Amino acid sequence: MIFQSRIESIPDRSFLKYSKNLVSLNMHDCGIREISDHAFDSLSKLKKLSLPYNYITSIKDQWFVDLTSLQRLDLSYNLITSIEPTVFEKLRGLKWFDVKENRLTCLKPTQLVPMASLQQFRFSGNPLTFQCRGTLTLWLQDLGINYKTDQREEENWLDNILWLCASDDVKVADSEVFMKECVVLNLFNQLRTGLTTAESFPLSISQECIDARHELTKCVAADRKHGREVITNGHVVRKLLGQLQELKSIV
């Protein structure tokens, strides 16, 4: 492991003399900004590559040409804004992929398909569009790929709303503007449900409508995968206010 070293760039064939035995390479918080196309050439036995907490801005497919045994790739906490589409074709044996806390706005399932061995995928903390996140998380859910983290419960809750919006209308699913409108509308309805079912709020609508909205709230916000229903009016309002705060800069 190389930790907190000032290595701004990794030149071609930097690890060639270790190629016969190197199975794990970790360069943590080393100030890396540039990686040459052939930096990892000949590392055919490498199973784990970790480059977290650096200043990498893009991921290039040429890095992985010789990494035929790679199973774990950690590029978290960088400044990544783009990934070359052909990268994933070089990562067919990858089981664990971490790109959390970067600057990616979209990760398309059609690009990820070649990673047929993928079991865990971490991407929280990226400014994904609603349209992209809804499509991606539903695809991961259907394939049984683990992507949820306990630390990002609000994002997991948001996914359920995105799926609901996308399933209601194809036009909504294909439009970022419509997806944002649908999410905000659902959040507003949940806030209204939380307030109108509170004891201190005078009820002026029928109990039937209140019950219907309450069922919608449970459906949208419950964590179905783990069978947990943590929803109360207080939970809804707390989650809603937190999510609305995050939405201010993108809606």
Three-state SS for 154?
Answer: helix
Whole-number Å distance between alpha carbons of 102 and 127: 8
Domains contained in the chain, number: 2
Residue 166 is assigned to a structural domain of this protein: no
> Which pLDDT band, with edges at 50, 70 and 90, does 224 fall under?
very low
Does 99 score more than 90 pLDDT? yes
The residue among 151, 166, 190 that closes a domain is 151
Residue 157 lies in a domain: no
The three-class DSSP label of residue 3 is: strand
Model pTM above 0.75: no
Q: Is residue 161 part of a domain?
A: no
CA distance 168 to 166: 6
Same domain for 68 and 111: yes
Structural domain harbouring 207: 177-249
CA–CA dist 86, 112 (Å, integer) = 10
Domain CATH number, residue 108: 3.80.10.10
Q: How many residues does the chain have?
A: 251
Q: Which pLDDT score is estimated for 241?
A: 58
Tell me whether residue 160 is in a domain. no
Mean pLDDT of 153-171: 77
Q: What angle do CA 144, 216, 195 make, to 5 degrees?
A: 130
pLDDT, mean of residues 119-132:
93
User: And the tokens for 58?
Assistant: 């893009």
18, part of any domain: yes
Whether residue 70 is contained in a domain is answered as yes
pLDDT at residue 235 above 70?
Answer: no
Residue 52 lies in a domain: yes
Tens of pLDDT, residue by residue over 3-48, are 667 889 999 999 999 999 999 999 999 999 999 999 999 999 999 9
Q: Is residue 158 part of a domain?
A: no
